[in-house]
Amino acid sequence: MNLQAELKKHFGFDAFKGDQEEIIQSVISGNDTFVIMPTGGGKSLCYQLPALIHEGTAIVISPLIALMKNQVDSIRGHSEDDFVAHFLNSSLNKAEQIVVKDDLRAGRTKLLYVAPETLNKKETIDFFKELTISFVAVDEAHCISEWGHDFRPEYRRIKEMIKGINSKIPVMALTATATPKVQGDIQKNLGMSDARVFKASFNRTNLFYEVRPKVELAKQLIRFVKERQGKSGIVYCLSRKKVEEIAETLQVNGIKALPYHAGFDAGTRAKNQDMFLNEDVDVIVATIAFGMGIDKPDVRFVIHHDMPKSLEGYYQETGRAGRDGGEGHCLAFYDYKDIEKLEKFMQGKPISEQEVGKQLLEEVVAYAETAMSRRKFLLHYFGEEFDEENGEGAKMDDNAVNPRPREEGSKWVKMLLDCVAELKETAKAKYIIEILTGVSNSQIKSFRHDTIKSFGAGKEKDKKFWMAVIRQTTVGKLLIKDIETYGVLKLGEKGKEFIANPQPFTVILDHDYIERAEDDNLILNTKAQGSAMDDKLYQLLKDLTRSVAKDNNVPPFVVFQEPSLMDMANQYPITLEELANIQGVGQGKANKYGASFVSTIADYVEENDIERAQDIVVKSVVNKSGTKVYIIQNIDRKRPLEDIAKARDMSMEDLLTEIENIVESGTKVNLDYYLGDAVDEDKQDELYDYFMEDAETGTIEEAMEELKDEDYSEEEIRLMRIKFMSEVAN
């Protein structure tokens, strides 16, 4: 058979890419075949062409309904007949399922896409027994492995489901990411140890890899996208809430963007996906559920707002960029706090699952922290060597073109390890840094840790530096985090050896991204405390805040908090209406405290001949007013907060954030009906007194830090801050 002629006939291509021809020959010959090929390498063609020229129907098992529709549309586009390819899944109604089954029985359909859940049903397997099956292709095969980034338990049953149809059917497995460990797991679970294995290079030479710290993230994100105006891109976030927030932030900055996550109904998801494919919008902001498998060749950038849970996941998601061989920029924003959040989510899961998750996260941290060529790091992870000087794609990552500052740090590493040993391996990172930098608080004093040798030994370095040293010694296995006692740092074998015999150790510092040029026109998700802030006016307003607070016998933060003052010093509001549009003010607070502020600003504007913008722009992405009204109405009805959160499909944490926003915009809420059961009376009095007398900035973070040695939960502190701000500030 002339495969090249078939390729030309069915797909219009003149030549195969890479190993495609050999892979197709293997499938046609009836061999079990395992294909490991990066996204954009032409994986789909490896099962589509043999299906079209083979007798019978090929079954393709795929985890994503959106991917199935896309693939079926693509194959039908190469054929005169729609019946050549179908999918069978829960999105079809009964009538549509009958059409698909009739085409299959008649032998007209060459390719059938099914989800593993569909294949799981006895009636499906019984139906497939009636058909001539050419082969079964398992797409996204990494889902079989618990070491894969998208483990799906139902994938584990695929082999027995295939046996239920016919044990002699050849099996093909395909994945775009597989470390040697995942590869072994896939072959073992599909019972294809004798399969012919084809592994293409993972080196996507046209992709540029970059990692930046989360510093002024909204500004960096908007600037990056605006510099690529009109180009297609994907922004990945870990939470649905963040997806919607970032999409709106991009929209109000004049960027055509839409959100996509599993919380939307199927119609909205399909519509948003199609608008992206049809280039009605430039950017899609999505959770990793937007694996889509979309075949959009000209995605020019993929941004990770949050680091993913594994490098396989990261590699596959970045692989959506530059599939046409053109430019592709892969930018990830990194903050170690995000990793700690992901670690917290693992608590309560079986220890074996935690172990796997922890190891996968360690690799992500190592990638973000590394100073070596990121391409070299990624390829090494997938079992491939790379010459970072002369290899194809060299000098195509941030570390290669802009090496990070570094310093010899063996002295500091020894100091850190000695401190961990002195604390008998019982402390978390934050406490260790407090000891090293000589912070004297009640907890440290109560344990008499202010008398140990390590106390204050590293005070010439700041907290940021010590955090970098802790992360890098953890990556290097000198320190290890105990899974059972989350966050406690212990000495690894390498750490003990280092104490006995210190070796050179290079500490890699972060670039200072704050110094990048600013853009006054960016509209941030927090009402912009823009770079054009008037420092002189800000100081005037700060003094005025203290004075007004004193007159009203309240702490200064109750009057106006710093972001509000910064926004005033940027926007120059001279009426109460304008003041109400300033970040964290609202009409209630403007009326209560605003008169002297707008008067002071008006005088300042006149004296200094300042030309104001015609209108105060409300630069925030406003909260959905429907949610706000719903919350206020239900608090007025004295409905339990848990019920309000459940009715709006929110976590308790998210609900408290919404209530805090409501209160900070000047609206009073009365939670007394709820506080009686939620917070002890003594605690209520103590926390109220704390906010009135001891708090300096009034933030939750400050309260958590100040009260960490007391027996208060974060929820209790937040609830009492809401009560305090409602009664005293509004």
DSSP state of 40: T
pLDDT in tens, 487-514: 789 999 999 999 999 999 999 886 655 4
pLDDT band at 289; cut points 50, 70, 90: low
DSSP states of 162-185: HHHH-TT--EEEEES---HHHHHH
Distance CA 697, CA 37 (A): 54
Strands 171-175 and 489-491: unpaired
- pLDDT tens-place string over residues 152-209: 778 888 999 999 998 889 999 999 877 778 888 899 999 998 999 999 888 999 999 9
pLDDT in tens, 305-358: 999 988 988 998 998 898 878 889 999 999 888 888 888 888 778 888 888 888
Nearest to 13 by CA among 111, 24, 171, 136: 24
Q: Mean per-residue pLDDT for 281-305? A: 82
- Residue 3 pLDDT exceeds 90: yes
3-state secondary structure of 233: strand
Give the model's pLDDT for residue 86.
94
Query: Which of 303, 305, 327 minimizes the C-alpha distance to 317?
Result: 303
Tell me, yes or no, if the pTM score tops 0.85.
Answer: no
pLDDT at 621 over 50: no
At 471 the pLDDT is 80
Pick the range with the lowest mean pLDDT from 30-34, 626-630, 687-691: 626-630
Q: How many helices (H) and strands (E) does the chain have?
A: 35, 17
pLDDT for 77 beyond 80: no
Residues 708 and 430 sit within 8 Å (Cβ to Cβ): no
> 663 near 730, Cβ under 8 Å?
yes
Give Cα 382 to chain centroid, integer Å.
22
Residues 172, 178, 181, 186: what is their CA dihedral angle, to the nearest 10 degrees?
A: -20
Q: What proportion of the chain, given as a percentage, has pLDDT over 90?
A: 39
Residue 38's SS3 state is: coil
Nearest to 538 by CA among 617, 611, 604: 604
Mean pLDDT of the chain: 86
DSSP state of 727: I
Other Cβ atoms closer than 10 A to 205: 13
pLDDT value, residue 693: 78
pLDDT level of residue 257 (50, 70, 90 thresholds): very high
Question: CB burial class (10 A; 0-12, 13-18, 19+) of residue 35?
Answer: buried
Give exposure, 121-146, as e/b (b: 16+ Cβ within 10 Å).
Answer: eeebbeebeebebbbbbbbbbbbbbe
Spatial distance between the Cα atoms of 524 and 541, rounded to a whole number of angstroms: 23
> How far apart are alpha carbons 210 and 399 in whole angstroms?
8
d(CA 185, CA 145): 6
- Given pLDDT bands bounded at 50, 70 and 90, which one contains residue 616? very low
Task: Please check whether residue 480 is in contact with residue 492, taking contact to mean a CB–CB distance below 8 angstroms.
Answer: yes
Q: Quick one: pLDDT at residue 34? A: 96
Tokens of 266: 């199927």
Burial class (CB in 10 A: 0-12, 13-18, 19+), 634: middle
Cβ–Cβ under 8 Å, residues 399 and 372: yes
User: Domains of the chain by range and CATH?
Assistant: 3-199 (3.40.50.300), 207-401 (3.40.50.300), 406-508 (1.10.10.10), 535-607 (1.10.150.80), 625-729 (1.10.10.1390)
Q: Which pLDDT score is estimated for 456? A: 97
539-547 CB contacts, 8 Å cutoff, 24+ apart: 540/600, 540/604, 541/565, 541/568, 541/569, 541/597, 541/600, 541/601, 544/596, 544/597, 544/600
b/e per residue, 380-402, with b = 16+ CB within 10 A?
A: ebbeeebebeebebbebbbbbee
When pLDDT is cut at 50, 70 and 90, the band that residue 108 belongs to is very high
Residue 730 pLDDT greater than 70, yes or no = no
* Residue type (1 letter), 53: I
State the pLDDT at residue 356.
83
In whole angstroms, give the CA distance from residue 222 to residue 209: 18
- DSSP conformation letters of 499-521: HHS----EEEPPP-GGGSPP-TT
Residues in Cβ contact with 686 at an 8 Å cutoff, skipping those fewer than 6 apart: 710
Token pair 């005033």 is found at 568
Is pLDDT at 12 greater than 80 in this prediction? no
Q: Quick one: CA dihedral 520, 522, 527, 528, positive or negative?
A: negative
Distances (CA, A) of 254 to 125, 166, 222, 232, 236: 51, 56, 10, 15, 19
pLDDT tier at 53 (50, 70, 90 boundaries)? very high
Nearest to 541 by CA among 578, 568, 523: 568
Residue 436, pLDDT > 80, answer yes
Note whether 675 and 666 are within 8 A (CB).
Answer: no
For the segment 383-389, the average pLDDT, to the nearest whole number, is: 84
- For the stretch 632-672, pLDDT in tens is 888 988 889 998 988 888 888 889 988 988 887 777 889 99
Determine the average pLDDT of the residues in 250-266. 90
> Which helix H or strand E contains 159, and what residues bound it?
helix 158-165
| Nearest C-alpha neighbor of 254 from the set 226, 216, 224 | 226
Do the bridges between strand 479-481 and strand 489-491 make them parallel or antiparallel, or are there none, so unpaired?
antiparallel
Q: What are phi and psi of 138, to 5 degrees?
A: -100, 100
Given a cut of 60, whether residue 97 has pLDDT beyond it is yes
Six token digits for residue 585 = 């003010």
The Cα–Cα gap between 445 and 424 comes to 17
Rounded to whole angstroms, what are the CA distances from 590 to 166, 352, 691, 723? 74, 55, 21, 19
